[in-house]
Structures are given as C-alpha cells and as structure tokens.
Chains A and B, each alone.
Chain A
C-alpha cells in the first residue's frame, strides 16, 4: 500500500500547520465561551505532536479547526500553506478530503457498512473506490481476516484499526487523532501506538490529543492547553529535532 511505503516529505523543514492568534469562541445561552484563546504556534511537516490539557481546555476545539471541520472566529490558520479562511465551504470539503485523515475516539464507523466498505467510503468521498487498495489497508492494520465484518461484529480495538485504515486510505499528509486510545485497553493501545509510530516513520504529520502520559511520551512535542491558552513546552524529542537541524 502506497500510504505506508512512501515517504511523504522530509520532516522538520517546513511548517505544515501554522496558527497566528487563532481564537474560537462559542456563543451559547447568551454567554460567549472562548474555547481557544489567541493560539499561535506551528507544526512542522512530519512532526508527531501530542496535545494535552485538562477537560474543557479546548483540545477538541483546536483539533477540529486543524481538521477544517470548524473555522476560527479570528486569527489566521494555514494548512499546507493555504489560509482556510480563503476557502469556500465546498473547497474546504475537498481540501479536507485531500489533506486530513481523522482518527476518532469513538471510531465513528457507519454501522451498516462492513469494515472494507467503511474504508471505501473515504475513497468514495475523495475520488473513486478501489477495493484491492482498501483490502491492503485493512491487512496493514492486521484486519485482513475481518474485512466483511460489520462494526458491531468487531472489538473496540479492531474498530479503531478500521478507523485508522480509513484515515490513511487517501494518503493524507496530516493525521488528526482525538484521543485515539481513549476507549481502548492496554493491549489495543499498544497496537494503535505502534501503528501511529509506523505512520510517523513514513512521514505523516500526526497531531494527537491524549490524556495518557504514556501516549504523550511517544510524541516528539507536547502542546499543553489550559483554559483555551496554549503552552508549548519543547520536549526532549523536539529539542532533538532542533539539534538535528
């Protein structure tokens, strides 16, 4: 499968995601909640970043904007050099299908489609379906024998692996994972962590929300959120990148 075999880009050279004073406010029940407050940082191509912070600190809000599912209230967000504010809703749909793969905590598989059909759904909305490619993707995540199972016939860990295969099938440069192991036991967490590690080695940029220190430790850099504000601490691994440069 092309996804796991090709190297997407040389890591650490250009920023694939950049935020400048990005703010997201929600208006609800007459109040304005500032879920993300003037976030300014950049993520380099091929980087593996963990986003951490207490519940309600704005992690999902941030990831949704990085995934172009949501737009900033103010500030500039550039993905792969393009300002998302400059794109129409239709262009954004297209852009998202090309650039972003999503891995969800709740998997979000379509319950009436089999594992392989769920993977092919991403192909369908991206361009055209290719069954053999979808089959290879499922084999890579260790589900070669489960391709025609419905989500209800799969364990949580297996469902998450289908979700990963689906996120990768269109070979997007950026993978966004909102608590990808939040619903998994230790054994399955390990499988998913290994898969993410492999994807990182092949050059995907990974932005991962996690509460789990063990998972966070796998990332090169942590971005901590608190009350919508960003605190980037350079970790040892990110210092390592800097040393390598």
Chain B
C-alpha cells in the first residue's frame, strides 16, 4: 500500500459524501444546461429557418400589366437566387367548374410549392406525386364548387380539362379558393405561361436586398418586390431569439458558477484544519492547491459526463416539443462543455485557493 494523492482524494471524497455529491450535482447541472443550450443553439439557425421557410416567399416577381415574364425568367431567377433559395412559378386563369361556378386555376410546380409553402395543410389526401401530370390540389372553399373531387371537370375558353384531386388545401388565405394543377398541363390547356415567380431567400434583410437588386438587373422591366413585413419580421425574431439565448446562457452560467463557488468554498473551509495540518507536515502551497484543484477538476469531469447525457436528452425533449424535430446529441459540444465546466470549477476554486494561501496553521492547530 502506498499513500498517493489519488488515495487521499478518494478517501476525502467518500468521507464527505454529502458535500462531494452536492458539488457534483452543481457541476452536473452546469454541464447539463451547457450541453442542452449548445446543442439547441447549434440547431437553432437551421430550426428557425426551417420554421420561417414555412411562411412562404419573401420575394415576388411579376410582369407588369399587359406583358408576360420572359421564357427564361425561371432559369434566370434560379441562377441569381442561388441553390439554397426556394423558387416556384405560378400561372393563373379563371375557369368554370362543372357546376358553372368561376374559379381561379393556378398552374405551378408542386415539388417547388411543397418546399416553399411548407405550412400549407393538405387534408383528405396528400401532395400530388410530381410525375402525376393530371393531379390537382383543391382549395377547401373551391371544393364546394365542384361535383366530384376525383374527376374535376373544368372549362377554359370552351376547352374542357379533367383532373383528379389528390387532396384539399387549407391555408386560411386566397389559396383556399383556388385549384392548383401542374404547370405543363395548365400551359397546354390555357396557352398561358408563368406570370408570377415566388422566391424565398433564407437569411437576413441585407441578403434579401442583395437578391432583389440581382433579380432586378437580370429581369429588366419586371417587378421584383420584397414581401417586406415578413423579411423584417424574420430578422427581428431571429435577433431577439439569439439575444434571449445569450442572456439565458449567461444567467445560468452565473447562477451555476455562484453555487459551485459556494459549494467548493464551503468544502475547503470545513477542511481548513486538515489543510493546516498538511501544511504543518511540510505540504507546500502548490501541493495543497493541486490536491484541491484536482478534486475540483475530478468533480467537474464527472459532472461533464453526467451532464452531457442529461443535457443531450433535455435538448432532444425541448426540440421535440417546440420544433417537432429531435435534436440529436452533438459530440462536438462535448469539448466546449468540458472546457466550460473546468473553467467554472477552476474559477470557483480560486477563492478557496486564496483561503489556502492565507491559511495560518498556527491559529488553526492550537487550542480548542
């Protein structure tokens, strides 16, 4: 048997179970909170943008009255807006249903709309298969004007068209009164082509302004308009969420730091006599401080392991309930959490280290 620093540490930790445990709990909480916040934070931008994408387009391109968008407009828009932008073409016409009611028919690219307008709720069915050239999505109000949703009979300028509905759209907006059909079928039927292109650029207001400038010069004479409210709202909400997040992290780090500090200080203060004795036995300042720091680091390390597991689970649960998607544990936050916890432990140990430096074994070891 030898007596090493690790033996002394182990004995001391076990002997003062309650104290060790409360320090461990404090450090587990700090690591857990840091893990949860960092995991969520790493996902936040993606999550927020995902959420905002469902709000639809933030730029709308239209031809001025009595003119049309050029043939290559869609290709140009895709090129200018970049690969991560969502672009969907629309063409509109007024047709008559088999009940004789006029209805707005829109030709579009279902695959693009499904991404751009992810918030559209489809009821009694599903989005059409992109390969289905005769599919239709029927607005829930428009559905009242047609006899059979499985065989939608429309007439435009005397030309009939029969489609089969795959589901109903419910947005609460204009879309509810329209019937959406594939753009190629629309063009073949009505002879008209794309008149509106909706674009969603993800990012801040500057990025959107830059895209608008680019689109205007690529499509001279066309109207390129931002959906202003949403653009400003988006960046404001994102900024606010970030600020809130930072404030929360700071507040929690501070609270946990203070509680760890209190616990570790108390744990040194209650062992003043033991440390005084070790000093009297020839223990140097650096030996005593390293003994103490090692203890703090050991607790911090154990706290990181427990906290990482708990924090990852927490992040998963939070994102599951708030965003409907699960945040998976991110191993890349682990070094950061470790660093943070070590920093808290070492900082919290600085005060007790000062206590140790000022320790007067003479005063502690005599009398009483």
Interface string of B238-281 (1 = CB under 8 A from A): 00000000000000000000000000000000000110011111
Find out whether the CB atom of A126 lies under 8 angstroms from the CB atom of B281: yes
Is there a chain A Cβ closer than 8 Å to B8's Cβ?
A: yes
B-chain residues with CB within 8 Å of residue A67 when the two chains form the complex? 280, 362
Residues of B contacting A102 in the complex (Cβ-Cβ under 8 angstroms): 280-281, 365
B365 contact set on A, CB distance < 8 A? 64, 69, 102, 104, 106, 108
Contact with B along A97-109 (1 / 0, CB 8 A): 1100010111010
Q: Give A192-220 as 1s and 0s: 1 = Cβ < 8 Å from B's Cβ atoms.
A: 00000000000000000000000000000
Verify A108–B285 contact, CB threshold 8 A: no
Contacts of B7 in A (CB 8 A): 117
CB pair A93–B367 under 8 Å, yes or no, is no
Measured as residues with beta carbon below 8 angstroms from the partner, the interface class of chain B is: 20 to 34
Given contacts A60-B366, A64-B366, A112-B15, contact A89 B285 (CB under 8 A): yes
The residues of A that contact B285 with a CB separation of less than 8 Å are: 89-90, 93
- Contact digits for A52-76, partner B, Cβ 8 Å, 1 yes 0 no: 0000000011011001011000000
* Interchain CA distance A96-B361 in the complex, whole Å: 12
With known contacts A112-B11, A112-B15, A129–B281 Cβ distance under 8 A: no
Chain A binding surface, main DSSP class: helix
Flag A79-92 by CB within 8 Å of B: 1 or 0 each: 00000000001100
CB of A125 within 8 A of CB of B15, answer no
Distance from A123 Cβ to chain B, minimum over Cβ atoms (Å): 7
Closest Cβ of chain B to A51, distance in Å, is 13
Q: Of the candidates A70, A105, A129, which one forms a contact with B360 in the assembled complex, judged by CB atoms under 8 Å apart? A: A70
Across the interface, which residues of B come within 8 angstroms of A124, CB to CB?
3-4, 8
Is A120 close to B, CB under 8 A? yes
Q: Is the CB of A113 closer than 8 A to any CB of chain B?
A: yes
B350 CB to closest chain A CB (Å) equals: 19
Q: How far is the CA of A121 from the CA of B283 in the complex (A)?
A: 9
Indicate if A131 sits at the interface (CB-CB under 8 A).
yes
**CB-defined A-B contacts under 8 Å, sample of 15:** A61-B362, A93-B279, A104-B365, A106-B365, A106-B368, A108-B280, A108-B365, A112-B11, A117-B3, A117-B7, A121-B278, A121-B281, A124-B4, A125-B278, A126-B281
9 additional contacts (CB under 8 A) given A64-B361, A125-B283: A60-B366, A105-B367, A106-B365, A121-B3, A121-B8, A124-B3, A125-B278, A126-B282, A131-B1
